[in-house]
Amino acid sequence: MDTTTQLKAEILRLTREYAKLAHQSNRPGNDVQRAETTPFVPGETTVPYAGRVFDENEVEAAVSSTLDFWLTLGKEGDAFEREFAHYLGVKSTTLVNSGSSANLLAIAALTSPTLGERQLRRGDEVITVAAGFPTTVAPLLQNGLVPVFIDNDEATLNAKVEQLEDAFVPGKTKAVMMAHTLGNPFDLATITEFCRRNNLWLIEDNCDALGSRYDGKLTGTFGDLSTQSFYPPHHLTLGEGGAVSVVNIAGLRKLVESFRDWGRDCWCASGVDNTCHKRWGWKLGELPEGYDHKYIYSHFGYNLKPLDIQAAIGREQFKKLPSFIEARTRNWETLRSGLAGLEEFFDFMLPTHATHWSPEGFSWDDSGHRADCSWFGFMMLVKPGAPFSRKEFAAHLDAAKIGSRMLFGGNLVRQPAFTALRRQNPDAFRVIGDLSGADRIMKSAIFVGVYPGLSDEMLDYIPATIRNFCETRSPVNRPAVAGMAA
């Protein structure tokens, strides 16, 4: 063993030792080492809504990759892309620097002139949903497309699919793009049939839903393209990062990679030359024949690549995905059971096609379809007749050091960027109906965490705190609340 190999081995040994000591609080919620070193103190210890969950394996991977100092995407990135695509069962996966970039890249790829009649052109319409995260919609506007907003269902938080036909305009509508809200698959049976019937692109924003299934099949595998986020609150983290997956149409991979990598026509990886074996034999555009293919640009692209160090971290995170999904499902069920009996105060989120929750499980509609959620959060909607507002409830959670979030941007058309856009260009987007569901979600919805870093003590503390809040704001000796802890 040479000196550098010995030194690296010793550095990595010490790295693991350091990480075990320094990052105890980032281990899974019920990890024994974490419980011994960072005990939970109700009311003093913060209960995050989300966060990084990792151990010494991720830290070692990051340091090892850094010592190699390739830095830009390389062998770790290639391996992560292959492993992720294999997990989903899709044609390919392309890493990018964020989930927002993944959404931008997915839409940009569909604007390529090489797609002929199916190219998304300025002024084309794309159906989306009103309440959600802004970067599901922003790429449409950034590429000169017209978002058409349909409403959200207040129980599933996903699109009201009965509005799809009202949103559709023959010859103008070219795609559907929406997210699986908080890990809850949208009605994929209805939407995929609608897209096939009308020859529309379907882009799944799967950023909050890695591991969710619809009729037994993973989300992110139903559309033409799907996107992923690896920001710390999500199911896996690379620190920053995201991905675009090509589901079935292999030719889309070259477009995705072109727009990610400056818009170049060449598909060589960084540090690799002449993959096509005709680097000096191309004649494209008005360039002279034989112009270096590495510097021929077929699209107006970006540079959206992450680092190979991030991919190294992601490969270790990926090994933990089954346990992460299991924890998210278990934690959601624990919270729902702990809050049973508070239905007079809150409407609780339901999986798509579910009609009711009980301790025995969900009841389902007669469609025959089922949604199996890898939950991102536990959502509650404060009822209109509740003796408190969402604002008061959020302040109480805050005071109790329980992290919470709204449903991101709420009804996006109420956001300052959209109201300013509507004043400047009334035709920049369209709205179907009154968006009453999205408005209610904006005014009443709040969610707490289910991420794998929550301990049993935290999962007991959250519903106990919420119950106490409801009791103190209810009429004295109200039977519906007094015995709820049983």
Which token pair is 449?
């965490």
> Containing H/E element for 194?
helix 188-198
Look up residue 364 and give its two tokens. Answer: 């389902």
Give the residue among 394, 375, 400, 357 at the shortest CA–CA distance from 452. 375
Q: Which residues, 6+ apart, have CB-to-CB distance to 262 below 8 Å? A: 297, 301, 302, 303
Catalytic residue numbers, as ranges: 234
Give the pair of three-digit tokens for residue 169.
């305009």
Residue matched to tokens 């999904």: 325
Give the pLDDT score at 269: 83
Question: Distance between CA atoms of 407 and 288, rounded to whole angstroms?
Answer: 53
Q: At 300, is the pLDDT very low, low, confident or very high (cuts 50, 70, 90)?
A: very high
Specify the amino acid at residue 70. Answer: W
> Where residue 335 falls among pLDDT bands split at 50, 70, 90?
very high
| Cβ–Cβ under 8 Å, residues 124 and 145 | yes
Q: What residue type is 16 in one-letter code?
A: R
* Local confidence band at 252 (pLDDT 50, 70, 90 cut-offs): very high
Handedness of CA 411, 416, 421, 423 (dihedral sign): positive
Cβ-in-10-Å burial (0-12, 13-18, 19+) of 139 comes to buried
> What is the DSSP annotation of 430-468?
EE-S--HHHHHHHHHEEEEE--TT--HHHHHHHHHHHHH
196-232 confidence digits (pLDDT tens): 999 999 999 999 999 999 999 999 999 999 999 999 9
The answer to whether the beta carbons of residues 272 and 77 sit under 8 Å apart is no
Mean pLDDT of 30-45: 90
pLDDT in tens, 166-177: 999 999 999 999
Q: 394 pLDDT exceeds 50?
A: yes
Q: Assign residue 465 a region (left: φ > 0; alpha: ψ between -120 and 50; beta: otherwise).
A: alpha
pLDDT number for residue 267:
87
CA dist., res. 204 & res. 225, Å (int) = 6
Write out pLDDT tens, residues 438-467: 999 999 999 999 999 999 999 999 999 999
Neighbours of 112 (CB within 10 A): 21
- Indicate if the pLDDT at residue 484 is higher than 70: no
pLDDT band at 481 (very low <50, low <70, confident <90, very high): very low
Residue 479 has pLDDT above 90, yes or no: no
Query: By mean pLDDT, which of 76-80, 182-186, 481-485 is the weakest?
Result: 481-485
CB 44 within 8 A of CB 400: no
DSSP assignment of 29-96 equals TT-HHHHHHS---TTTS-B-SS-----HHHHHHHHHHHHHT--BS-HHHHHHHHHHHHHHT-SEEEEE
Mean pLDDT of the chain: 96
- Does the pLDDT value for residue 140 go beyond 70? yes
Res 483 pLDDT > 50: no
- Tell me whether strands 354-358 and 225-229 are parallel, antiparallel or unpaired: unpaired
Are the beta carbons of 156 and 184 closer than 8 angstroms? yes
Nearest to 70 by CA among 302, 243, 270: 270
Q: How far is CA 131 from CA 182, 321, 416, 472, in A?
A: 12, 28, 14, 32
**CA distances (Å), origin 182, targets 6, 407, 431, 436:** 46, 9, 23, 20
- What is the enclosing helix (H) or strand (E) of 335? helix 321-338
Q: What pLDDT is stored for residue 172 in this prediction?
A: 98
Residue 2: partners with Cβ closer than 8 Å, 6 or more residues away: none
Does residue 17 surpass a pLDDT of 70? yes
Q: Which domains does the chain have, with CATH numbers?
A: 75-316 (3.40.640.10), 321-482 (3.90.1150.10)
- % pLDDT > 90, the chain: 93
